A and B are shown apart, each in its own frame.
Chain A
């Protein structure tokens, strides 16, 4: 993609998040099974969001999502340290994305095993597990979207549904990872599947070549509430406009309401989680 501009000015990035329990979850007594986490370190900023599947097969998916964003941020922070080196090239950045996915899969499975040691399945939970003939990791099923932004690189990794939207200053937008035709709105790929690593989608983008006005990460409760189809172009345009005239404090006030609106009975009714990354001084 052609460069719009180049700059040596280093942007610092702010993360604003909002998460709301879905109206349908509220009605049926289910908790919010999304999770969100971010870290800001010397290498760059990292953010992770996850959506526990919620189906009865995945009765510990809220825990699975919390573990996912925890290990996702830790692995992404390690990636940020690698990416912060001055001589990091495009191939290095792409490899960092793949290594991020590898680390996440291994660390998440290890974290699940650790939690199961501390909190084994109850008799009732074991009954459900046996009924479905599932492996012990299946009840923790969750998606994960994780992004790393350093001075030069945006590196992303995603498994399962949900959306990442990279917004350029002129309002054009793109997904920083490839699509997956298997995500049909009814089923999703998952950290709990045996071939999880193969289902990860990763991407690396040089921010000197493609400057961004914003990066949006959202669970599917956000996208499934959007009336436009596809919704990404109009959301990207509006986000670029809003980013041009509002600061992070304004977004900090607004974004929880966006999540709540999407999660309401007028939207998807599903848990909705948003993480918006905005450059300051970029």
Chain B
């Protein structure tokens, strides 16, 4: 005898429903309470010597401008809480924001360029890899997002870029991460950035001028948010946001599904 079987659409609302958005305590529910799934967003910002002046000012302004967009999305959607970290890099990388900060509470502290600093990306990837290692992010966390912003070609010593990227990709969370890149100036668009993204369906976003940086960052934040939503057709999101042609195979299409 089938005691109970609930089909998908005709299931009645359960008795004792607590409606979405209600924050009343539920003292008799077992465990330590509930919370949204974390979405870790790591910004990797180029602070090499070439970023001095107008570029770094525009970048700081653009990041500060992007955060409210992400915070608004966090408020509006039903699944994720967004945590921001930031790595600044030049010849060496360093944590600009080391601990995950809730996006709604984050005030952006301006980045400063390193005089004569190079654009070594590999060590920045390796630093991010450490933060995404086993036990470093929650098991229930959504796929992380990473945003690389640079105005120049990688200046890593031979093998340095590949070693850092390999370290990142060796971490399951690093490999699964949605990786986006913004090139400030057409000259900064490189095959290295495509390798970082690792998906032909996701192009490098090019900011032709300092004024374009904010627009590209908003596009990136839209990509992060829309692609993190439940049941998202990421291929469709990529086509809509980036103009990816239909016939370009995207790895995004089959992520977050079966092994």
Interface set of A (CB-CB < 8 Å, partner B): 15, 17-28, 30-41, 52-58, 62-63, 65-66, 69-70, 73, 131-132, 138, 141, 182-190, 192-193, 199, 223-231, 234-235, 237-239, 242, 253-254, 256-262, 264-270
Contact = CB atoms under 8 A, between A and B. Distances in A.
A33 B8 contact: yes
A30 B230 contact: yes
B230 A31 contact: no
Nearest to B231: A54
Interface stretch (B26-34, B86-94, B188-196, B201-209): B26-34
Given A24-B229, A270-B230, A229 B138 contact: yes
Sorted nearest first, the 8 A-B pairs with minimum C-beta distance are: A256-B14, A238-B30, A269-B79, A228-B32, A23-B78, A62-B8, A257-B16, A24-B230
A230 to B, nearest CB: 8
Nearest to B21: A265
A257 B35 contact: no
Contacts of A30: 230-231
A191 to B, nearest CB: 9
B67 to A, nearest CB: 21
28 contacts: A32-B8, A36-B5, A37-B6, A38-B3, A39-B1, A52-B8, A54-B231, A66-B5, A184-B173, A186-B142, A188-B258, A189-B258, A226-B32, A227-B31, A227-B35, A229-B138, A229-B139, A234-B32, A238-B30, A242-B28, A257-B14, A258-B29, A260-B16, A261-B29, A261-B34, A265-B20, A266-B35, A267-B35
A224 B36 CA distance: 8
Given A37-B2, A239-B30, A132 B254 contact: yes
Contacts of B231: 24-25, 28, 30, 54-56
Given A23-B79, A55-B257, A228-B32, 15 more contacts: A27-B77, A34-B8, A35-B6, A40-B3, A184-B173, A185-B139, A186-B142, A187-B255, A229-B138, A229-B139, A231-B32, A266-B21, A268-B36, A269-B80, A270-B79
Interface in B57-81: 77-80
B179 interface: no
Given A53-B258, A132-B254, A186-B143, A225 B14 contact: no
B4 A17 contact: yes
A253 B16 contact: yes
B253 to A, nearest CB: 7
Contacts of B258: 53, 138, 141, 187-190, 192-193
Interface in B111-144: 138-143
A23 B77 CA distance: 9
B78 A24 contact: yes
B233 interface: yes
A15 B14 CA distance: 16
Contacts of A257: 14-18, 26, 29
A126 to B, nearest CB: 16
Contacts of A261: 18, 26, 29, 34
Contacts of B37: 224, 268-269
B259 A188 contact: yes
B230 A15 contact: no
Nearest to A73: B2
A92 B2 CA distance: 26
Nearest to A272: B34
A31 B9 CA distance: 6
Contacts of A18: 14
A54 to B, nearest CB: 5
B13 to A, nearest CB: 8
A109 to B, nearest CB: 15
